Amino acid sequence: MTRERINPEELKAIAVSSDWRRVEYDLSQAELEEVETKYRETCLEIDGLEIEKKSATSHFGSLIKNSDTRREELRQQILTQKRKTDAEVFLVPDLDADLMKYYDKDGRKVYERPLESYERQTSALEDFAEVEANDADTGA
């Protein structure tokens, strides 16, 4: 998906709402190296925990599960070269394309999906209200 941008100052004015969503950003080379280091450290941590697991299986089982989840998240970051984070996003309907576009606080498009039927109806009602308001201002 091509990342498009909206001026962050205009973003809040045109967004119909905001939400929190997990979005992906490309990792820089330095971030990728840091993730790879964390991955190696996590692998070593898991290896050490596996040795101790024999004496306390139930206690260390939960620790390994947490580390394994973290390892998988780090592995995915290495493979995709993207990181996922929870961020506030602003929903902007694109009626011409029949899409709801999600933008982060910096105005970068991070996600899009088809409009839901109720979103098309809401937009149509908002457009109708705007036309009525304009007609009232012009006396038409």
Per-residue pLDDT at 47: 92
Instruction: Provide the whole-model pTM.
Output: 0.45
Per-residue pLDDT at 125: 53
Q: How far is residue 20's CA from residue 78's CA, in Å, rounded to a whole number?
A: 24
pLDDT, tens digit (0-9, with 9 covering 90-100), for 6-62: 998 899 889 999 999 999 999 999 999 999 999 999 999 999 988 887 777 777 778
Angstrom CA distances, 93 to 31, 105, 112, 119, stand at: 33, 16, 9, 8
